[in-house]
Amino acid sequence: MKYKFHQRDVISILDFERDELEYLFETTDKILDSYIDKKMHLLDGKIIALAFFEPSTRTRLSFEVAAKKLGADVISFTSEESLSISKGENLADTIRMLDNYSDLIVIRHRLEGVAKYAAEIAEKPVINAGDGKQHHPTQAMIDLYTVRKLFGAIDGLTYGILGDLRYGRAATSFIYGLSIFKPKKLYLISPEALRVREEVLELLKNRNIMYEEKYNTEDVIDQLDVLYVTRIQRERFPDPMEYERVKGSYRVTRELVKRGRRELKVLHPLPKVNEIDYSVDASEYAAYYIQAKYGVPIRMSLLILILGGDKL
């Protein structure tokens, strides 16, 4: 096999080379073109463990759908309360058990670094479905794929990334993902308290990605091809007062997007709370529902490439 996906852990989008992501996207194209409505049997007999220590709707369900469409079975849990962890079992033992029972572990956790830790313990491949405020690699794959589908390319476009750039792992992973390509420019738009973290800016500098930090989307809306909006990550604020100060500090309205280019597309990893006005949902600018839909074929591709080899 040309690219190294077989039995691989997926911890950060930064672990991937551009040509590997392109190969993943081409596989996803094939699935969408020919297989998405069929039951495939590439992973018959495999068991996928979905270990969600933190809430999720789309990520968990789309992994489950992806696994089932490929013929695999799924075992899952969605909170610590239902586990022996609530009896004092440590995380490492829980991972060891999942490693014994399954062929691949998908893990989500509120703490940074848990996916990497799980991958060190488990012999089976581990996919990070979001840990802490930094890494959510499969979301970044979906987001990049969505841009590629909408515009035909990821390179050469101007991106506005709006919202909680400090605590948001989807936003951070999207920025990391873009740094693997050649975007024209990134505008990092947020209130002061939610500014992008220093290590992310360092990476952009090292990779020669042009960026500018902004406070208001209004100032740059007419330059954007993509506006990537994120929710304020209330649950990750160390101080609830800090959250109170920034909540409601930005909102994308129909009036705002109408001042943008005709081709402008608004992306959002979802869930959205109130940062996008309902009037945008039904407009031609909104791309977040199709983006969520691509969660299934992207995750199918990843599971095939990791567990099934190059059989598609």
What residue ranges bind ligand NCD (CB under 6 A)? 58-59, 130, 136, 139, 169-170, 231, 269-271
Q: Shortest gap between Cβ of 252 and ligand NCD (angstroms)?
A: 15
Instruction: State the Cα–Cα distance between residues 292 and 281, nearest whole angstrom.
Output: 13
Q: Which residue is nearest to ligand NCD (CB)?
A: 269
Say which DSSP state 193 is in: G
E runs forming strands in 22-169:
47-52, 73-77, 104-109, 126-131, 158-162
Closest CB to ligand NCD among residues 99, 275: 275
Closest CB to ligand NCD among residues 28, 139: 139
Q: Shortest gap between Cβ of 232 and ligand NCD (angstroms)?
A: 9
Q: Shortest gap between Cβ of 65 and ligand NCD (angstroms)?
A: 14
Q: Shortest gap between Cβ of 285 and ligand NCD (angstroms)?
A: 19
Closest CB to ligand NCD among residues 69, 169: 169
Instruction: State the Cα–Cα distance between residues 312 and 162, nearest whole angstrom.
Output: 37
Residue 302 vs residues 92, 141, 154, 272: alpha-carbon distances, Å: 25, 10, 20, 26
Closest CB to ligand NCD among residues 69, 268: 268
Residue with tokens 């909680």: 164
Question: Nearest Cα to 40, choosing from 72, 73, 63, 69?
Answer: 69
Closest CB to ligand NCD among residues 136, 166: 136
Q: Shortest gap between Cβ of 273 and ligand NCD (angstroms)?
A: 9
Cross-strand partners of 286: 266
